[in-house]
């Protein structure tokens, strides 16, 4: 199932009902519906998204995506989004679904020196969700700024600073206990494009501050 916008390839068999039944508990219909919604999300054309092998120990059911913001041959930012589902719920989630993310990008030196950068980056995440009108709870995470200086044979390279957002939140469940995962993925794509320094996709977002374009690291 391909999206109308963006580039989305699905090479994962992680939610196939027959395969998962052999490995663990049967896959709940609510989780299958949430994954189908992810696959149908409309994304910005700068995003390249593909399914990847999900973690197995965080919840009974999981589905994972990797994404990169691409400009020619350059990856400006990249990240990973994992959808977790535990039909019994987990106290820390306050729900049966949880979204977990890692987003990384390399910063220009003038932006890296901003002491308010971590707070700004966290507000980009919450703002992306709120701009899409999404209800969520139990949000938590970290924003990490790390610098690299090069020496010896690498001394010709410029110092580099990387920003990394690790976060999780509980999407509100709708009809049939299924959250609006397509909209959450779209909001997450907005965050990736914003941290990559791309302009907003909607005229109403013109006041949002963005980072200068740059080349970012690959998610391992």
Task: Give the tens place of pLDDT for each residue, 76-117.
Answer: 899 999 999 999 999 999 999 999 999 999 877 666 667 788
Residue that has been written with the tokens 């969520």 in this structure: 136
Contact 51, 108 (CB under 8 A): no
List average pLDDT for each run of 10 residues in the chain, which is 220 residues long.
40 42 72 94 90 92 94 86 95 95 83 78 94 94 84 79 92 92 95 88 44 36
Tell me the two tokens of residue 11: 């090479």
Whole-number Å distance between alpha carbons of 97 and 86: 6
The DSSP bridge partners found for residue 49 are 8, 67
pTM more than 0.85: no
Whole-number Å distance between alpha carbons of 139 and 204: 25
The tens digit of pLDDT for each residue in 138-149 reads 999 999 888 777
Domain ranges of the chain: 27-194
**SS3 per-residue string spanning the chain:** CCCCCCEEECCCCCCCHHHHHHHCCCCCHHHHHHHHHHHCCCCCCCEEEEEECCCCCCCCEEEEEEEEEEECCEEEEEEEEEEEEEEEEECCCCEEEEEEEEEEEEECHHHHCCCCHHHHHHHHHHHHHHHCCCCEEEEEEEEEEEEECCCHHHCCCCCEEEEEEEEEEEECECHHHCECHHHHHHHHHHHHHHHCCCCCCCHHHCCCCCCCCCCCCCCC
């Amino acid at each position: 199932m391909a999206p109308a916008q963006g580039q989305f390839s699905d090479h994962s068999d992680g939610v196939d009902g027959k395969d998962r039944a052999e490995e663990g508990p049967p896959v709940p219909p609510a989780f299958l519906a949430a994954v189908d919604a992810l696959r149908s999300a409309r994304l910005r054309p700068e995003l390249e998204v593909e399914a990847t092998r999900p973690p197995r120990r965080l919840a009974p059911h999981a589905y994972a995506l990797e994404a990169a913001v691409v400009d020619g041959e350059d990856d400006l930012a990249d990240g990973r989004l994992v959808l977790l589902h535990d039909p019994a719920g987990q106290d820390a989630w306050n729900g049966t679904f949880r979204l977990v993310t890692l987003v990384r990008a390399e910063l220009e030196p003038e932006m890296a020196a901003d002491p308010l950068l971590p707070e700004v980056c966290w507000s980009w995440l919450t703002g992306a969700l709120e701009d899409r009108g999404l209800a969520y709870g139990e949000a938590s995470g970290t924003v990490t700024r790390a610098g690299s200086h090069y020496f010896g044979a690498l001394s010709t390279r410029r110092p580099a600073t990387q920003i990394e957002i690790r976060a999780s939140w509980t999407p509100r469940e709708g009809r049939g206990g299924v959250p609006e995962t397509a909209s959450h993925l779209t909001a997450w794509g907005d965050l990736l494009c914003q941290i990559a320094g791309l302009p907003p996709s909607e005229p109403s977002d013109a006041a949002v501050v963005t980072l200068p374009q740059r080349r970012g690291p690959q998610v391992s």
